[in-house]
Amino acid sequence: MELENKLSEQINDIKKENFEKLAQLFPSIIKDGQVDFKALKEELGEFEEVKEERYEFTWAGKQNAKKKVQEDVGARTLKYIEEDSKNPDTTENLYIEGDNLEVLKLLRQNYYGSIKMIYIDPPYNTGKDFIYNDNFKISDEESAINQGYITKENERLEKNTKDSNRFHAKWLNEMYPRLKMARDLLTDDGIIIINIDEHEIINLQKILDEIFGELNNLGNIIWDKRNPKGDSKGIASQHEYILFYTKNKEYFLSQCQVVRPKKNAELILKKAKQLFNKINLTYSLEQANKDFSQWINLQTNFSGGEKAYNKIDENGEVYRPVSMAWPNKSKAPDEYFIPLIHPITKKECPIPERGWRNPRATMELLLTNGLILFGKDETTQPTRKYLLKDNMYENISSLLYYGGSDIELLKSLKIPFDTPKVLDICKEHILAFSNKNDIILDFFSGSATTAHAVMQLNAEDGGNRKYIMVQLNELTYEGKKEKYIDDNGDEKERYIIDKETGYPIVANDSEARKEGFYTICEIGKERIRRAGELIKKEIEESNKQLQLGEEPKKVPDIGFKVFRTADTNINWKKIREVSKDNVMKFDDPDMLDFTLGFNDKDVVYEVLLRQRDLPLSEKLVTLTDIGSRTYLYADSYLVCLETKVTEELIENLAELNPLPIKFIFRDSAFGSKIGLKEETFRKLKTLVEKNSGLTKKAYTVEFI
């Protein structure tokens, strides 16, 4: 019997998914298994085309860019690099080396609809910064290293120079499929944040409007960097842009309060709480306020540079009294002159000469909410009470004034990188647009500022945000090249490889290479390591100096698992060629199922890339009590790579507690025992469904 539950070689089938979605939304448009596009237009209210012309943003290569989105990633996978990882058994963070389009496709099954925020700083297309793939195959002799990018895929990658007659088109062709794939990864209330400058702002906004929809444009920030660039003959730009698009704006705004903390507000609240905890049991409220005023004599630019909050009310809330008088020189309208009655004496309080600051309706609301502060009797003019807890945050402005950079910060970490994202701005936006347990993705990672920001925020507020960093493995220097003649007699260029380092010999050196960083990935990973250790040290030192009533801070997750794009470990072609009725005999079954140089962990991760909603950060353990090649992932997915499956092994698996939700075996491990394979499928499938109460069709046992 040929079971239908074979592990799929194909990771993504986007065309099929889109077809099924259309069929579900509009059943009437599916006729004989095909989409009737005329019927689809009618469903959308388009009964006839008025004109041939219509508004559309297009460029040379757009159709191919769309096709690239739907192409499967092919015989590619992610290879786990344990030696580069930090705290791999406990971390929930990922660092992935490779072409980001390829990585996005590889992650699509596992993280579909799971990423809350994508925060990227893509190449600005200045003519020097975008490496693109022109799909030109070169020979294996070229050492698989070309044009400043280290690869094993024999693909030539070039910089998009301004002298190209398709300068903007090439940039768009690279960005479009990446942004299209990125949208699939976002949660329904997810957001993408993109830094860009004047070179491609117009084109970027147009493709974002097309991919995400104009209605999902949350807004743009103009970033005044206080650093004019360009020549003096024209207009020197000193600003850049930050674009914000949501997957579903209405849902996003219903789930997220887009605000940021006011400067020093957290510090003031912290000190106020410390004092109140200290004096609460031994002092009267009057004495507490007196001591508080003396003890916390702070000045701050919070709320326009006024004095810090210096009172505590009967509920222990920190507040600041503010005048309720009309602020303008002219007299206020009549509705600003309503009488206020003292709650104890029941007599009318004096009204300011020009009227109150607020109209009748607002004053009545303030009274109801207890936000008007009366004196000891009616002779004192009331003041407005501003609670600190209600004034901790402010809206995000569309203008950002920040002229600094983080180059000095990186120097302090001994990380050589000239154009990092700004840590504080990155932190501010992550804090404002996401929650404490969300996943943040950056697929133009660079020096890994986003990872640093996530760790720093978690350290400050006790959050458990996770990050996924993706970076192309670019060289940090110019490598030496030589000319050669290929098999077709054509003259080409290739790098000359240093046999000791494995990298190209230096032609033009860089400071990064001199300091031991041959690639951008090495810079990013090392920054995360050093920043994480610094955060850990600061928390440990702070915990040694705790004040009364303060809780010690926890060190956040400062680790990460490293993966690298690589060729498949599974010999899909040979497996397909094996007859359904005959078992091909091999002295070494691994020669049938797997490729040369494979290892079990890489096979397991390749299998897991074909599962939905399964993060790659979970723990992988070997079930040595059952077999040396039987693995359990996330306590839920069992991958058995034993060369022989026996009845005893199946019995042991069936007794696992808790029972995994899916079992994956090698087809070849059953040999000629077709009956055992069928029995294994039925038995384990029944057990899993009984335990999990599955109501939808899902294979719980699969075979490689």
For 517-563, the DSSP string reads --BHHHHHHHHHHHHHHHHHHHHHHHHTTPPTTPPPPPP----BEEE
Question: Which of 187, 71, 191, 106 shows the shortest CA–CA distance to 470?
Answer: 106
Q: Determine the Cα–Cα distance for residues 558 and 461; give it in Å rounded to an integer.
A: 15
Name residues of the chain where pLDDT drops below 70: 1-4, 28, 31-32, 42-43, 47-54, 127-166, 230-232, 263-310, 316, 578-587, 693-699
Question: Which of 514, 504, 447 shows the shortest CA–CA distance to 149?
Answer: 504
Q: Determine the Cα–Cα distance for residues 132 and 175; give it in Å rounded to an integer.
A: 10
pLDDT digits (tens, 9 = 90+) for 456-484: 999 999 999 999 999 999 999 999 989 98
Beta bridge partners of 475: 519
Q: In 159-264, which residue ranges form alpha helices assigned H by DSSP?
A: 167-185, 201-212, 249-255
96: helix, strand or coil = strand
The enclosing H or E element of 321 equals strand 318-323
CB 247 within 8 A of CB 363: no
pTM of the model: 0.80
pLDDT digits (tens, 9 = 90+) for 316-337: 677 878 889 998 888 999 999 9
Q: Determine the Cα–Cα distance for residues 475 and 545; give it in Å rounded to an integer.
A: 44
SS3 content of the chain, % helix, strand, coil (to 5): 35, 20, 45
